[in-house]
Amino acid sequence: MFRTAIVLPLFALSLLDFASASPLESDRGVAIPLAKRGSLTKPDGRFDVAKANATRMQLQRKHRQNLISAERHLGLKGLSTLSPDAFPHDRKRGGVALTDQEEDLLWSGTITIGTPPQKFSVDFDTGSSDLWVPSSKCSTCSRRHNAYNAALSSTGKLKNGTFSIHYADNSTSSGPIYTDKVTVGGVTVTGQFLSAVKTESSQLAQEPTDGVLGLAWPSISDLNSDPFFFTAIYQSAVKEGAFAFKLASHGSELCIGGTNSKLYSGPIEYHPIISQDYWQIDNGSVSLNGTAVSSGFKTIIDSGTTLMGARAPVVEEFYARINGSRQDPELNGYYSFPCDPVPKVSFNWGGRDWEINASDFNLGESGEPGQCVGALVPLDLGPRVGDDVWLLGDTFMKNVYSVFSVEKKSIGFAELA
């Protein structure tokens, strides 16, 4: 989330239209179409410095905040555990198709809140745990954004307390807390905690989506309550305690309550998560042209982040293996490398290699002839995260079918069909 300051029109897609047209019932879950917007590569193939500068800043803001949340909540709530009983068999299926627009910066989809339903476009973010949208009483929010009007919802209930997000740059957004009915891709839950924000800093108001739907674990919820997908599990609204993403130029989809076997081939390679906060797995290694460059690191898989990041010294070591690469001060810390050939970058967690397509690693020409910008960037994840953590966003996720299983407490990867 918060990855672009560029405003593009919303793709004309609504869940309701989608549902009445053809409810895409996959084998396990329901498919939600996702829209993606914005690109760090200009139409002429050059790297968009201004947009990239903003993106990297925003990426940092978000993760700083999540870490603050983790710190605040982990000690208090402890780690949540799910009993196997939470998964009865009479579950429904749910799904959201993800729609593509322009290139690769952000995927979003439509949800509804309230009775009768009010429609919103949200970022489906595996790196945070709260649902928030603008309030109809928000004076600083963008007029382009849809706003939640609790008075128009017969199922909306005001709760005690205030939700507030505080970013590292001191911008804030806050508002009252409600519970209401929420529908995502045909999966409906009742009494879902959410916030309708009444103040929004200008950066947030410039986001193309109305709000965010967090898909990470309850322990990092600022609302201190169950995120949508956990509510869906507890209310038996989903068939299976897993959701899965296909992020691509065409046919992107979030499957809620299972996986869509039409979208992947071969087995799903599962890896246990190492904590119940972010979606995080251990024993990662990264290779250049098949030679391991760094290994034994932890990896956060984050649909709310565009690129891939690691601590500055780790990233420096990575690019040191690519002849002719350099950190470019004019590119606000991004690295450039000789465009031809783009090195083969792949990740491995003890199973097969998951390779990143050259067109995903290469963000475009830097402005210096023959130099291109790499999608691995130095990232300050804050003091709580160790030196050995990598953050893999959409750049990685576009190359695999990714499954987030609450039931198995695992992340799975499979080859895209």
Ligand X SMILES: *[C@@H]1O[C@H](CO)[C@@H](O)[C@H](O)[C@H]1NC(C)=O
- Which residues from 312-351 bind ligand X, rule CB under 6 A? 321-323, 330, 332, 341, 343, 348, 350
Interface pick for ligand X out of 169, 317, 368, 387 (rule CB under 6 A): 169
In this structure, what token pair is assigned to residue 215? 């898909």
- Which residues from 44-63 bind ligand X, rule CB under 6 A? 49-50, 53
Nearer to ligand X, 154 or 249 (CB): 249
357 interacts with ligand X by CB under 6 A: yes
Q: Could you give the string, one character per residue 230-259, with x where binding to ligand X holds by CB under 6 A and - elsewhere? A: -------------------x----------
What is the smallest separation between the CB atom of 199 and ligand X, expressed in angstroms? 17
| 123 classed as catalytic | no
Q: Between vectors from CA 133 to CA 166 and to CA 39, what angle results, nearest 5°? A: 80
170 interacts with ligand X by CB under 6 A: yes
Return the range that interacts with ligand X (CB under 6 A); candidates 135-143, 192-200, 224-232, 283-291: 283-291
289 interacts with ligand X by CB under 6 A: yes
What is the smallest separation between the CB atom of 373 and ligand X, expressed in angstroms? 12
Nearer to ligand X, 39 or 209 (CB): 39
Nearer to ligand X, 92 or 321 (CB): 321
Nearer to ligand X, 80 or 348 (CB): 348
Q: Which one of 48, 104, 123, 125 is the catalytic residue?
A: 125
359 interacts with ligand X by CB under 6 A: yes
Counting residues that bind ligand X (by CB under 6 A) gives 24
Contact partners, residue 25, CB within 8 Å, separation at least 6: 93, 95
| 353 classed as catalytic | no
Q: How many beta carbons lie within 10 A of that of residue 162, not counting itself?
A: 12
Q: Which one of 222, 226, 302, 360 is the catalytic residue?
A: 302
Is the backbone peptide bond immediately before 116 cis, with ω within 30 degrees of 0? yes
Nearer to ligand X, 111 or 392 (CB): 392
Residues labelled catalytic: 125, 302
Q: Rule CB under 6 A: which residues touch ligand X? A: 49-50, 53, 159-160, 169-170, 249, 283, 285, 288-289, 295, 321-323, 330, 332, 341, 343, 348, 350, 357, 359
